[in-house]
């Protein structure tokens, strides 16, 4: 794991221990998407930083009163700028990054990009989803903007789990009977209903692909050659794709190779950046792209 992701995990852990009820090691591990051994190391780090980490008789962890009075850490301007740079490298749409940047802005004289501050409401969306998961209550994702159906509608769901980077939430949707990932950015508001989960036995968490789609029993190979500009845009829009990008000696300069569960976001990405993206492999992708181009030209 990269250093900036470790830092964001620690910030997330602090938030969980400060704002929520006391938690078990297993619960912290599940929420953070880390092993219990890794969470142990993070807890030791919090102690070294001077935070009042406590553990009750039931073995539940929590923070008592925040920082110890004798160990209130302060940051120099150089340290603040360094921390800002680390956080900003976590990806363009990382919700936890936005929250951290907002706190850095409040506690320092640094100017933070206005677009980050304007997205502060996303923090409440994440918080409401987390509470609904903990209380096992159904929610309505108000005015969800679906890129696949090209529609805006309310979606009644049972939230199952937030992805570690807080970009998406896995939910079971009763109307379709499917577990789906929903993009946090596309949710206008979360309304927690008084109704408890009714379909908990059908909840199934699977690791999403780099484009945020859950395992539907299908897998497609994607092999793309990309220019530097296409590479940067892919990383910004889909940060999880970074692990599958390598520099090459070819004319494009970069190669993305991965297996995905849905080809639609891949095709949209390619069509938006032609001719800066070349398809090097994946029979299904080539055919799907050819059909999309034909329909586009026919419609144009």
Residue corresponding to tokens 């484009």: 211
Check whether 89 has a pLDDT greater than 60: no
Please tell me the predicted confidence (pLDDT) of residue 70. Answer: 43
Q: What distance lies between CA 266 and its chain's CA centroid?
A: 18
pLDDT tens by residue, 5-56: 566 677 778 777 876 678 888 888 888 778 888 888 888 887 776 677 888 8
* pLDDT value at residue 225: 95
Give pLDDT, residue 202.
94
Q: What does the pLDDT look like over 60-79, one tens digit per residue? A: 888 875 434 444 444 555 55
Distances (CA, A) of 296 to 78, 157, 272, 292, 293: 51, 34, 12, 6, 5
- Average per-residue pLDDT in the chain? 79
Position 126 scores a pLDDT of: 85
SS3 227: coil
CATH topology identical between 3-117 and 121-202: no
DSSP, res 31: H
Report how far residue 142's alpha carbon sits from residue 154's, in angstroms, rounded to the nearest whole number: 5
Residue 159's pLDDT band, with cuts at 50, 70 and 90, is very high
Closest CA to 256 of 274, 236, 230: 230
pLDDT at 51: 74
What's the average model confidence in pLDDT over 149-153? 81
Of 76-80, 201-205, 215-219, the least confident: 76-80
Report whether pLDDT(222) > 80.
yes
Q: Which of 44-58, 174-188, 239-253 has the lowest mean pLDDT?
A: 44-58
Q: How far apart are CA 104 and CA 88, in angstroms?
A: 12
Judge whether residue 132 has pLDDT over 70.
yes
Task: Specify the CATH number for 121-202; select among 1.10.3720.10, 2.30.30.30, 1.10.10.10, 3.30.1450.10.
Answer: 2.30.30.30
Q: Of 43-52, 120-129, 183-192, which has the strongest mean pLDDT?
A: 183-192
Label residue 108 by pLDDT band (50, 70, 90): very low
Are the C-beta atoms of 194 and 139 separated by less than 8 Å?
no
Q: Residue 106 — pLDDT band, cuts 50, 70, 90?
A: very low
Mean pLDDT of 169-188: 91
Which CATH number is associated with domain 3-117? Answer: 1.10.10.10
Give the pLDDT score at 223.
Answer: 95
Higher pLDDT, 158 or 85: 158
Q: Per-domain residue ranges for the chain?
A: 3-117, 121-202, 220-299
Sequence-ordered alpha helix ranges (H) in 238-282:
264-273
List beta partners, residue 227. none
Q: Which of 26, 27, 16, 29 is nearest to 62 (CA)?
A: 16
| CATH code at 220-299 | 3.30.70
Give yes or no for a contact between 163 and 33, defined as CB atoms under 8 angstroms apart.
yes
Task: Tell me if 293 sits within 8 A of 271, measured CB to CB.
Answer: yes
**Tell me, what's the pLDDT at 7?**
66
Q: Residue 155 contacts by C-beta under 8 Å, 6 or more apart in sequence?
A: 140, 141, 144, 171, 173, 182
Q: pLDDT value at position 4?
A: 47
**pTM for the full predicted model:** 0.48
Query: 234-271 burial by CB neighbour count: b if 16+ within 10 A, else e?
Result: bbeebbbbeebbeeeeeebebbbebebbbbebbbebbe
Do the bridges between strand 245-247 and strand 61-67 make them parallel or antiparallel, or are there none, so unpaired? unpaired
286 vs 151 pLDDT, higher one = 286
pLDDT at 157: 97
Cis ω for the linkage preceding 86 (within 30 of 0): no
């Amino acid at each position: 794991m990269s250093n900036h992701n470790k830092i964001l995990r620690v910030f997330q852990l602090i938030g969980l221990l400060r704002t929520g009820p006391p938690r078990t090691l297993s619960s912290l591990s599940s929420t953070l998407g880390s092993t219990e051994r890794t969470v142990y190391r993070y807890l030791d780090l919090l102690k070294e930083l001077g935070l009042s980490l406590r553990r009750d008789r039931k073995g539940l962890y929590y923070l008592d009163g925040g920082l110890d009075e004798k160990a209130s850490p302060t940051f120099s301007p150089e340290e603040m700028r360094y921390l800002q740079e680390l956080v900003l490298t976590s990806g363009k749409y990382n919700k936890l990054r936005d929250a951290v940047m907002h706190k850095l802005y409040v506690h320092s004289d640094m100017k933070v990009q206005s677009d980050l501050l304007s997205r502060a409401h996303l923090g409440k969306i994440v918080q409401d989803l987390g509470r609904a998961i903990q209380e096992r209550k159904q929610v309505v994702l108000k005015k969800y903007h679906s890129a696949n159906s090209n529609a805006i509608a309310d979606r009644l769901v049972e939230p199952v789990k937030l992805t570690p980077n807080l970009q998406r939430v896995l939910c079971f949707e009763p109307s379709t009977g499917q577990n789906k990932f929903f993009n946090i950015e596309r949710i206008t508001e979360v309304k927690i209903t008084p109704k408890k989960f009714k379909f908990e036995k059908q909840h199934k968490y699977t690791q999403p692909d780099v484009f945020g789609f859950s395992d539907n029993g299908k897998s497609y190979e994607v092999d793309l050659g990309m220019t530097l500009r296409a590479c940067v845009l892919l990383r910004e829009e889909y940060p999880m794709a970074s692990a599958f990008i390598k520099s090459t000696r070819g004319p494009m300069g970069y190669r993305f190779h991965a297996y995905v569960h849905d080809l639609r976001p891949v095709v949209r990405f390619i069509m938006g950046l032609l001719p800066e993206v070349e398809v090097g492999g994946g029979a299904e992708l080539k055919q799907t792209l050819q059909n999309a181009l034909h329909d586009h030209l026919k419609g144009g």
